[in-house]
Structure 1
């Protein structure tokens, strides 16, 4: 009798990679000519990334550089939830705040299990465990087909896989 194989569907990011991307962004905006004299900055404060500049356009340009660095470091942009920009009281500074989000909500976990149930291999079983979804099957080929299905899925959150055994 062969034991079941399994993997976990999670929504996580590597904090070290996020930190590296923020540091690279800060370095680039300090060196680039188009950011001279606009007081542009980017900082990581706990689970949020704060981008500042003296105009909305420059702040959005900082955000664009940050997105490029995150993608290069393998961090999904769906892990970053950037709200609306806000001018400060003085009117001389514009700020964007991006919150890093991790974990799969119950509603999103149900979306994943429904997609696997409807379109995935029939031998695959799913189980919601807190903020992750455990997927099990006797066939590793079915598990790999399920991973391919989930990678092709259009979710509004980052999807990654761990504990494949």
Structure 2
């Protein structure tokens, strides 16, 4: 029986490369001369440091651009609030969300069931597996999910006949 999985994954190596490119660009830019602007990565948590709010936003823009160039959808970033570190220095943490959260998974299953397509959707950990009798029905359900869920980056993998 044909099936596929709906997942949300981010390549950790690409995130690391984007962080390194951002730090390299920040260290060479004239407007950041003498500042302590940088981005640090711990697994899927990125922390942006800067001297003030304006520079914090500038570093964040550079990071977003590098992530997009590397094929990472910035909708998967969950931005934190800027916080004071010492003196006038500020930092902001951003978490890279991976996996389909349970609320979103339930929403996807509900969308597929309400569509009256002859496919079954089931939640399997951090993924949603969709099974159907025909390949065409699965492709219709992919189109339906793409149209309905646009606020979170999803990938469709393990397409099996």
* TM-score of the aligned structures, taking structure 2 as reference length: 0.91
* 2:127 paired with 1:153: no
* TM-score of the aligned structures, taking structure 1 as reference length: 0.89
Q: Which runs of 5+ in 1 are unaligned?
A: none
1:54-73 map, 5 Å: 54-73=51-70
Instruction: For 1:122 and 1:147, locate their aligned partners in 2 and report how far apart those are by CA, in whole Å.
Output: 11
Query: Is contact 2:15–2:67 with CA below 8 Å preserved after alignment?
Result: yes
Dislocated runs of 4+, deviation >6 Å: none
1:1-165 map, 5 Å: 4-88=1-85, 90-119=86-115, 122-165=117-160
For these two proteins, the number of residue pairs brought into alignment is 160
**Local SS of the residue matching 1:145:** helix
Instruction: For 2:69 and 2:45, locate their aligned partners in 1 and report how far apart those are by CA, in whole Å.
Output: 19
Instruction: For 2:148 and 2:88, locate their aligned partners in 1 and report how far apart those are by CA, in whole Å.
Output: 42
Q: CA RMSD in A?
A: 1.5
Q: Which runs of 5+ in 2 are unaligned?
A: none
